[in-house]
Amino acid sequence: MPGAEDVSELKRRIAEIEQAVSNLTREKMGLEESVERLQQPKPWESFWFRLYKKPLRGMRDHASQGFERATRYALLYFRLISLQYWIISAFPDENPRGRKKRDLAVDVSVVIQLLGVVLLWWFVPEPYLGIAAFFTGYLLFCLYLSLINIVFFSDVPKVNMPTTSATRSLLLLALNVLQVAFTFAIFYRSVLHLCPRLALFGSFLVLGTVGLPDGVPALDAPYVGIQILTNFVLFAFAITVFVSRVPIRLAGGDPEKKMEIPNT
């Protein structure tokens, strides 16, 4: 039988082994944390991934072909020069908390853009109307690029995640309509040399398709034609968001049985 000295020696060796295992475990955890930190993308890499790489990967498995596919890819490339998509890409949306921050940033940016356009419409001096028109025109491009992307990619969640609320989308759309009206009022001020009130009145006349701005020749109104076309995009977006969520009764079926019109 082992003596007391042998038992003491075994206990000592067991304690040394346990200490060595504990040290190795701590070293392993430290190495794993280091590897995880190294594997995490830098902030600018995450931004670039969300802005450019992630949407392109989402399009690889999509079944569209030909002109439709080329159009979709063109819309993705246009995102690179869009202020709105730069803001969106600055906030990760992989989890609900990140999505809430991103949605809040989008809401704030829409309100700020509208306020900026309104201030330019009223306060910008006539010599600087050309610069104001260029700036607000760029914001208008970003607005419509965002809306068209939503329409085209509503069936590709890997590229454009579905809206969190149809009500929120319609509220933002109402702000977008106001931004469009004030933007074209700036255009009319710049081209037709109208006062702010008459320019805005003319913009709303065209928005409602009930008339032309004061001083516009009936056969020479390029801005009017552009505004009418852009209004159609707004209406198409409203239909996409709203009608896709309206329940309808199945013809000849159970009155209580309903179906949803799918997104297209």
DSSP symbols for 121-173: HHH--GGGHHHHHHHHHHHHHHHHHHHHHHHHTTT-TTTSPPPS-HHHHHHHH
Q: Which of 28-42, 200-214, 236-250 has the lowest mean pLDDT?
A: 236-250
- Looking at residues 235-251, what average pLDDT do you find? 61
Q: What is the pLDDT of residue 12?
A: 79
With beta carbons less than 8 A apart as the criterion, state whether 91 and 77 touch: no
Structure confidence at residue 123 as a pLDDT band (50, 70, 90): very high
| Greatest mean pLDDT range, 3-17, 182-196, 243-257 | 182-196
Parallel, antiparallel or unpaired: strands 258-260 and 247-249: antiparallel
CA distance 252 to 219: 50
Q: What is the pLDDT of residue 261?
A: 39
Q: Is the pLDDT of residue 214 over 80?
A: no
Q: Is the pLDDT of residue 162 over 90?
A: no
CA distance 258 to 251: 10
Q: What is the pLDDT of residue 17?
A: 87
Q: What is the pLDDT of residue 219?
A: 47
What's the pTM value of the predicted model, to 2 decimals?
0.74
With beta carbons less than 8 A apart as the criterion, state whether 154 and 169 touch: no
Place of tokens 């040290």: 23
Q: What is the pLDDT of residue 116?
A: 97
Structure confidence at residue 220 as a pLDDT band (50, 70, 90): low
Radius of gyration of the chain (CA): 29
The residue that leads in pLDDT, 254 or 192, is 192
Mean pLDDT of the chain: 81
Distances (CA, A) of 189 to 50, 93, 118, 226: 38, 40, 13, 16
Q: What is the pLDDT of residue 248?
A: 44
- Looking at residues 153-157, what average pLDDT do you find? 82
Q: Where are any strands of DSSP class E within the chain?
A: 247-249, 258-260
Q: Is the pLDDT of residue 263 over 50?
A: no
49 sits in which H/E element:
none
The residue that leads in pLDDT, 49 or 71, is 71
Distances (CA, A) of 1 to 31, 215, 236: 44, 115, 91
The residue that leads in pLDDT, 249 or 38, is 38
Structure tokens at 40: 């995490």
- Looking at residues 231-241, what average pLDDT do you find? 78
